[in-house]
Amino acid sequence: MSSLNIISLGKRLKELRESKGFMQREVGAVIDVDGAFISKIESSEKPINRNHLKKLSTFFQIDEKELQVLWLVDKVNNVLKDEPYKKQVIQLINNDNL
């Protein structure tokens, strides 16, 4: 797992927004939130509603699957963030040993 370059959904959305030259308020308008909320999503301070991923994938012209996977990664990381056995759990999941 350490060989993978996994980023958060927020970082990916920021990367997409900046690469297309959009303002945070423009992205927010797509999902009916303000630019300040987009800022919090990009900095991983606030989670995004999963229902917004389809609109964002269309807006950024990318495969929705990419955003869905990152959304799930963020969710799992949030659940495991303070767990002392986080690495072992992820390793088991990675090895399909459930």
DSSP string, 31-74: TT--HHHHHHHHTTSSPPPGGGHHHHHHHHTS-HHHHHHHHHHH
pLDDT given at position 5: 55
pLDDT given at position 98: 55
Say if CB 13 and CB 56 are below 8 A apart: yes
Helices 35-42 + 9-20 axis angle, to 10: 120
Q: Which of 12-42 are b and which e, b meaning 16 or more Cβ less than 10 Å from the residue's Cβ?
A: bbbebbeeeebebeebbeebebeeebbbbbb
pLDDT one digit per residue (tens) for the chain, 98 residues: 333 456 899 999 999 999 999 999 999 999 999 999 999 999 999 999 999 999 999 999 999 999 999 999 999 989 998 999 998 988 898 887 55
pLDDT given at position 96: 75
- Of 95, 52, 70, the closest CA to residue 9 belongs to 70
pLDDT given at position 7: 84
